[in-house]
Structure 1
């Protein structure tokens, strides 16, 4: 069947694409299940493949206690001291271990404001009344509190201090009131004193401590779904990844925008803003204006005469864009004629007009593939109906998993193809990489990229065409032919997507040495659906593994 298609495999050998390979190892994300793939191997491989897990409101405390337990065991700390340490180091257990090896235990604790030597004996040994160092009132020992750092003040001053800090949003690290003291106040004392005066603020304090696991943790972020689903995503290793929440929202973990690989976060942000603010304006400009031959500013015509004058003073012919003098009649311009066609290859292309058309070129193709993706997404129900009709007719063919797998592959490859156009717009333009590539290098790499893009585009369209066929009305022989087409094309587009990513990562971005433009890696099975944390931990417990945050 391969002879029927136009494709090639750049920078690869024939062994890279084994015709006996299975089409897709995992299509769990299309079957409405829990997001787990079928696996014939060791179940531990199933656990290790997760790059992220979903933290719900019910499992947030469980997630926090997982990291707290590690630090408590490592340094023999209480839960509150472990929390103080982790909040300071943004819930990065590996970072805590690095600081411990570099600075030692005492210095690490001092930096984080952790005081583990209880100096309450200072207050207990005092007799009679105590003078508060804040309000200077004399109070009984029972009406004063001492922190682990040894500083003590009356309960009223402590309470007021705590409430002010909580209202100011400083709940996670409330420091001692003593001058130049870096110690973090005991959270149990804070909770006890504040709850006596204002239980709502005490609840806010507890909530802030709990949510610090998300707000201060670089490996955990709120799902950016709208309306907000209330879930958070915790990634295990690489922060540059794309994930799907259990609510169904897919997004880039790094920038929280929609999943946009193979565009870098910066490229996608620039493209989104440009599309939102300029696409309609630029289309109107291209349609209704022409650039001045002198200053290149866009000029529109507000009358019937074809002699127009730019604000810079240059007169030019609206029909051909050529510079002219100002003398004219209703039908002609003195000394100027443009009714005859001239093949003028030496005429300088107007820079502004070129940029307008360049953006429209890439935007139109991006929009076309976006529309195709939306239409193909709606065809899943139609495909299921065709499969149902085919299964009910008298036929020897009963397995139509190839059609569902082919549709899944089409979604994934179409999405990759869609985002190659914003990438190409910035990669081969002057906005981001000006001066980093010579004109010769840029043209050579542009040709390499566009050749691969063309191959991917052609085979994606062929896959789409085969899946649109009404095979429920066809003979078994014809269905077998469509099946082989879909299987072949699915393997081809998967391979071409992988090659496209290799080209972008290694041939285009890596030589620039710019970490800003790293992209999320290609996943043959698409954006991974993260399991709920409780399910993930259950699987890890069964395998005797300890989940890493």
Structure 2
């Protein structure tokens, strides 16, 4: 076995080292779960992985039902009233029980629940009644009233519920039609008055508010996916954890912010980076780097000629563009400033130099960030074309469809690593320069080189793909391992607090 250098030790070893020892290492599944050897068959979680589970809509409804049953038994309430209280307390069962035990009447009143009167909703005709909403006064008019006894015609209540649920997207805070009354419309009334279409929307909204109220739950953001992710990572932990999860639909995203996978960059840095890239901050930076302010009136001036003798159009002040000092101190030296180091201009030169350096540094990281983003899109497009290659390769080489799946595996690894590399540049932009930054950049470089090598193999003509199958499979495994090493070391640094950043997040 070849001897490892110090650089290889810091960055996790070379590709040859990995290929030599890969057969002896722990087995790793495609989903990232790693299993130890025969000595210990328990799963070993990597530093950048988090515990989570995927829940279906049915499981979400069952979780609500179980909690409602528990509360209605403990507090001796109807399931309907228990549900209304839980929604009012944002499903915090412990807080609800504690406050209800202290003052049940106060809690019920505050939550808009009236226990007086009959539990059964009555729809009846009242002779001589006139609806205060539509002013109908027909004796055959059907009317309803909640426990608060504010009575309105059935049609007005149906229209009211339709508007609140369909148009406003409200489900848990629908109050009595009387604008001064805080009593909530109970679910049984909604069930009785609404059409099946509106009821479906109503139950959908109830599920959504349940997920929104629970800190450990988040909807999968993939289109047409109705799954929910249950993860215990709290907002206070997002400075030290990047909680990437994968829904059963196959979508990877960050549980903390809901964005697409942005490992190894924490959510706070992602927000700062995207704001820096998207708003006018860099426009202002460019102006600062390419223009100067008049030393007298502070008007912004852009140099559009070669002469260093500047005259402000606003206040007519004459100064030197190079040192920002008064022009009368320069004698006749119009094109060669011999007072560049004079005190009168040193501050302005420092600001100009720092601004240029800041802009150049930003562009260094942004260009590489954007390049990997674009390459990731191209790799994805290439895979769509490669599906045809897989079919052609299967026909030409006699391979089965399963045997040509190494191309699919390579494509997925490429897209995943491009995404990771993209965000390593945002991460590196905010890093303080020290020896740890050097180690990070070494890991970044190793992954980048490995990705480029695999990308080149991936673009080979169809007739060459069969001959490089083993090479591509080895390269795919190596690239995946390099990504694991980079993410694992970065995650450990976040958890240990060893990384130092130039900004607070």
Q: TM-score interval w.r.t. the shorter chain?
A: 0.5 to 0.7
* Alignment correspondent of 1:365: 368
Q: Please tell me whether the aligned partners of residues 218 and 230 of structure 2 are also in contact (alpha carbons under 8 angstroms).
A: no
* Alignment correspondent of 1:437: none
1:254-293 map, 5 Å:
254-278=256-280, 281=283, 285=287, 289-291=290-292
Q: Distance in 2 between matches of 1:122 and 1:63?
A: 29
* Alignment correspondent of 2:163: 167
Q: Structure 1 residues 505 and 367, CA, compared in 2 at 3 Å: closer, same or farther?
A: farther
**TM (normalized to structure 1)?**
0.61
* Alignment correspondent of 2:491: 501
Q: Distance in 2 between matches of 1:302 and 1:512?
A: 35
Q: Structure 1 residues 117 and 393, CA, compared in 2 at 3 Å: closer, same or farther?
A: same
* Alignment correspondent of 1:420: 424
Q: Distance in 1 between matches of 2:250 and 2:320?
A: 56
1:64-463 map, 5 Å:
64-76=61-73, 80-90=80-90, 92=91, 95-101=92-98, 103-104=100-101, 107=104, 111-114=110-113, 119=118, 147=146, 149=147, 151-156=148-153, 160=156, 163-164=159-160, 167=163, 169=168, 171-176=171-176, 183-192=183-192, 194=193, 203-204=197-198, 207-215=201-209, 217-218=211-212, 219=214, 224=221, 229-238=223-232, 241-243=243-245, 250-278=252-280, 281=283, 285=287, 289-291=290-292, 299-303=301-305, 305-309=307-311, 313=317, 315-317=319-321, 321-323=322-324, 325-326=326-327, 333=334, 336=337, 348=350, 350=352, 351-380=354-383, 385=389, 389=393, 405=409, 407-425=411-429, 427-428=430-431, 445-463=432-450
Q: Structure 1 residues 510 and 363, CA, compared in 2 at 3 Å: closer, same or farther?
A: closer
Deviations 1:520-542 (A, max 9, x none): xxxxxxxxxxxxxxxxxxxxxxx
* Alignment correspondent of 2:240: none
Q: Distance in 2 between matches of 1:388 and 1:283?
A: 52
SS for the counterpart of 1:365 is helix
1:214 CA drift (Å): 0.8
Deviations 1:418-475 (A, max 9, x none): 21322343x45xxxxxxxxxxxxxxxx5324422331222211232243223597499
Q: Distance in 2 between matches of 1:191 and 1:474?
A: 61
SS for the counterpart of 1:446 is coil
SS for the counterpart of 1:52 is strand
Q: Structure 1 residues 314 and 78, CA, compared in 2 at 3 Å: closer, same or farther?
A: farther
1:494 CA drift (Å): 1.0
Q: Please tell me whether the aligned partners of residues 447 and 482 of structure 2 are also in contact (alpha carbons under 8 angstroms).
A: no
Q: Find the partner of 1:492 among 482, 489, 494.
A: 482
Q: Structure 1 residues 203 and 325, CA, compared in 2 at 3 Å: closer, same or farther?
A: same
Query: RMSD of aligned C-alpha atoms?
Result: 5.6
SS for the counterpart of 1:173 is coil
Q: Please tell me whether the aligned partners of residues 413 and 476 of structure 2 are also in contact (alpha carbons under 8 angstroms).
A: no
Q: Distance in 1 between matches of 2:502 and 2:279?
A: 29
Give the gaps of 5 or more residues in structure 2.
Answer: 235-242, 341-345
Q: Structure 1 residues 120 and 282, CA, compared in 2 at 3 Å: closer, same or farther?
A: closer
Q: Distance in 2 between matches of 1:89 and 1:511?
A: 39
**TM (normalized to structure 2)?**
0.65
Q: Structure 1 residues 183 and 290, CA, compared in 2 at 3 Å: closer, same or farther?
A: closer
SS for the counterpart of 1:119 is coil
- Number of residue pairs matched by the alignment: 446
Give the gaps of 5 or more residues in structure 1.
Answer: 30-36, 340-344, 429-444, 518-549
Q: Please tell me whether the aligned partners of residues 52 and 234 of structure 1 are also in contact (alpha carbons under 8 angstroms).
A: yes
